[in-house]
Structure 1
Amino acid sequence: MTNIRSEPDALRTLKARLEALNRSTGRRLEVSASECVDNAFAPLATGVLHDLYAATPADAVAVNAFGLGMASRASEGRPIVWVLHEMMSQEAGRPYGPGLHEMGLAPRDLMLVRARDIQTLLAVGEDALRSSAVGAVLLSAWGEAKALSLTASRRLALAAEIHGATLFLARSGADPCPSAAETRWSIGSCASEPLEAGAPGRPSFSATLLRRRGGGETGTWIMEWDREQRTFRPPAPLSGGLVPLAAQRSAAAPGVGTGTRERRAA
């Protein structure tokens, strides 16, 4: 994982590295337009912009992790550029190497750029989208910002469409607003199910599809991230029998009837 500061010299370094990725790739890889999160979930188009909103400010880590999972699937084995707003780092913490490893991301998979402000974040994201060697771009922003306007989203969506990379804009501490995104999601964290021998469970998310361009079905799904397969999957069903639901009981005292009939617990 490469960490680049968003200073003028660092931005020039970023552009040079993106150009080096282009030369090493040698050709532009086509991205399938029918990529899906999973057969059980809503389809996820590639080469477009997707908006991801944290359900609450406390879900900032969850929306970034979900964005990384989405980017990993959409990148088709090519590098991911993750541009992290400095305010996001202050509010939600900086990326943790072992945690990225648990997500199944190797250092060679990820180029990390820290942006001091939203304008820089947008500029770096647009530059990254222009590189045909980049498979996906994740922009992580904190708070409301005038720079994250409908016009800015249209510029990003156009860059993604022209150059074929998929862009995920993850926002925390902000309300959903109009944009040129193909889909809009609300992401929250969920308790994971422990694995065998009490090992920590897979990262689990509550993902609500709020809007899809052109209309279509929306809904909420519980998704687990499978690091071995690098995909989202439904949670595994609980083993063993289920405890039966308790019968409803009346709030009235025992023996007190309703009318002429006595109400009894089932």
Structure 2
Amino acid sequence: MPAATAQTLSDLRRSLAEAALRAGPVAGARIGLGVTSLDEALSGGLARAALHEVYAAEVADLAAATGFALGIALRAGHGEGEVPERPILWARQDFVDAEAGRLHAPGLNELGLDPSRLLLVRARDGEGVLRAGAEAARCSALGAVLIEPWGEPRPFDLTASRRLALAAEGAGVPVLLLRVAAAEAPSAARTRWQVRALASRALEANAPGAPAFAVRLLRQRGGAAEREWRVEWDRDRRSFEERSVFDRSDRLAPRTDHAAPLSRPLVPLSGDRQVAADGHDSGLRRAG
């Protein structure tokens, strides 16, 4: 194993050990998303101890897919009562930064994620991202693990997905595999989702509305699938809400080469403010 990789894993294990000391109990074996019809289709919510795949319908929908996955992670890591919220580990391939921009701490905060809760692991290739994600998935102290490779990493196959699923089941931690520029393939994921961006509906005084997504359940092991919901994210309640009225604004967001699909800078796309490589000025915590 290269020295740099060994050091990254060593730092990751140390960060996970620190997280374990702060961990408190989480509620239930399922993660309710807040939309009644959606949770009913999932028999009460997403299985906590499982692997779930979230596909961006197109590369331009990466911000929307990221927002949906982060919403799930936020609900999964929510603590009970005065118990602190659990940290979220995000393993991200460097190439995603090059294509979509680095994580933007103010944007994450706008979505409802305190950047101090985030353990960020960056790797040069898909193999490194999957290795870090598998290591993290074994830590029961985490609220969720988000793994973001670019495209179709050669090491990721049905066997590799089974390892991730088994790690999630053993630790009771949801693992969210965020897929972009990748075709659907057989995997051990409990559910598979496709996400497209919707235009946000403006608030009073034309203020930006809540981030909105069209989410399609493509696969659910042992349950019904091929259903679609149009939902918004309420950052104050940290919950998804179903759009009850479809009006002219309820359409796919316009796509250009110079604009993110969402109308608010909620997730990692930022053209003018980037997180420094060493994590300074960002509030993000890096492991490695």
Q: TM-score range by the shorter chain?
A: 0.7 to 0.9
| Equivalent residues in 2 for 1:237-248, closer than 5 Å | 237=245
User: Does 2:41 correspond to 1:39?
Assistant: no
User: Does 2:84 correspond to 1:82?
Assistant: no
Cα distance in 2 for partners of 1:67, 1:54 equals 10
Of the candidates 5, 13, 16, which is equivalent to residue 15 of structure 1?
A: 13
Of the candidates 166, 180, 198, which is equivalent to residue 172 of structure 1?
A: 180
User: Does 2:236 correspond to 1:228?
Assistant: yes
Q: Which is greater in Rg?
A: 1
Q: Which residue does 1:112 correspond to in 2?
A: 120
Of the candidates 152, 162, 183, which is equivalent to residue 160 of structure 2?
A: 152
Counterpart residue identity of residue 170, structure 2: I
8 Å CA contact retained: 1:21, 1:133: yes
Structure 2 length-normalised TM: 0.76
8 Å CA contact retained: 1:36, 1:45: no
The superposition leaves residues 14-55 of structure 1 with CA deviations (integer Å, 9 ceiling, x where unpaired) of 111111111233x6x355223222223142111100011110
Cα distance in 1 for partners of 2:102, 2:244 equals 30
Cα distance in 1 for partners of 2:120, 2:27 equals 22
Of the candidates 97, 111, 133, which is equivalent to residue 141 of structure 2?
A: 133
Q: Which residue does 1:244 correspond to in 2?
A: none
Q: Displacement, 1:238? A: 7.0
Cα distance in 2 for partners of 1:238, 1:188 equals 16
Cα distance in 2 for partners of 1:33, 1:16 equals 27
Cα distance in 2 for partners of 1:130, 1:71 equals 16
In structure 2, relative to structure 1, the CA distance for the partners of 1:13 and 1:217 (3 Å cut) is: closer
In structure 2, relative to structure 1, the CA distance for the partners of 1:238 and 1:222 (3 Å cut) is: closer
Cα distance in 2 for partners of 1:222, 1:172 equals 20
Gaps of 5+ in 1: 1-5, 240-266
| Seq. identity, % | 44
8 Å CA contact retained: 2:50, 2:190: yes
8 Å CA contact retained: 1:30, 1:164: no
8 Å CA contact retained: 1:31, 1:165: no
Gaps of 5+ in 2: 79-84, 248-288
Counterpart residue identity of residue 32, structure 1: G
In structure 2, relative to structure 1, the CA distance for the partners of 1:238 and 1:213 (3 Å cut) is: closer
| Equivalent residues in 2 for 1:246-257, closer than 5 Å | none
The DSSP-based 3-state class of the residue aligned with 2:92 is strand
Structure 1 length-normalised TM: 0.82
Greater shift in the superposed pair: 142-151 or 158-167: 142-151
8 Å CA contact retained: 2:129, 2:147: yes
Specify which structure has the bigger relative contact order, considering alpha-carbon pairs within 8 angstroms and separated by 6 or more residues: 2
User: Does 2:200 correspond to 1:192?
Assistant: yes
Cα distance in 2 for partners of 1:62, 1:135 equals 21
In structure 2, relative to structure 1, the CA distance for the partners of 1:197 and 1:18 (3 Å cut) is: same
Ranges of 4+ aligned residues in structure 1 off by more than 4 Å:
none
In structure 2, relative to structure 1, the CA distance for the partners of 1:196 and 1:129 (3 Å cut) is: same
Counterpart residue identity of residue 224, structure 2: G
In structure 2, relative to structure 1, the CA distance for the partners of 1:181 and 1:112 (3 Å cut) is: same
**Residues matched between the structures, number:** 232
Q: Displacement, 1:224? A: 0.6
Cα distance in 1 for partners of 2:97, 2:36 equals 33
User: Does 2:151 correspond to 1:143?
Assistant: yes
The superposition leaves residues 50-105 of structure 1 with CA deviations (integer Å, 9 ceiling, x where unpaired) of 01111011112221121111111112231110111111111111111111011011
Cα distance in 2 for partners of 1:217, 1:11 equals 37
Cα distance in 2 for partners of 1:230, 1:30 equals 16
The DSSP-based 3-state class of the residue aligned with 2:113 is coil
The DSSP-based 3-state class of the residue aligned with 2:20 is helix
Cα distance in 2 for partners of 1:149, 1:97 equals 32
